[in-house]
Amino acid sequence: MKISRFTTLILSEKGNIESALVLIPLLTLFLVASQITITIHGRNMTKISAQDGASTRAISGNFDETDTFLHIDSPDPHQNLDLLISHKKGFLPHIMPGLEKFMGSKREIDVTGVAIVENQR
């Protein structure tokens, strides 16, 4: 019984070790890049939420206890400007759920949102 070259090529185990040596670092690199991308996205979404909250509170006048105000001198004597700084804390997402047990704690971020409050005198 004669085996064809194509069948011999398919049944041959040449290249399996080389494939594993390439795939393991490539998979690790993919997971690290995915974790960085998801972390940056989570931080940006928390930052957008903090900025949205600061803008909404600056317009509505319903301020939180955690808001900070800085007075800004205005060239117009009939207008009083304040800079509203709001703080928001959030947790960074993880690809692997058990990663925070390995790392020791959840990764927390603190972002700020800034808005101008225009008060008429």
Which pLDDT belongs to residue 2? Answer: 59
Query: CA neighbours within 13 Å on the CB side: how many for 36?
Result: 6
Per-residue pLDDT of the chain (121 residues; tens, 9 = 90+): 556 776 776 666 666 667 778 888 999 899 889 988 988 998 899 999 999 999 998 888 888 888 888 888 877 777 778 889 998 888 877 776 666 677 666 778 889 999 988 775 4
Query: Does residue 63 contact residue 83 with C-beta atoms inside 8 Å?
Result: no
What pLDDT sits at residue 47? 93
According to the model, what pLDDT value does residue 73 have? 81
Q: pTM of the full predicted structure?
A: 0.68
Residue pair 115/94 in contact (Cβ under 8 Å)? The answer is no
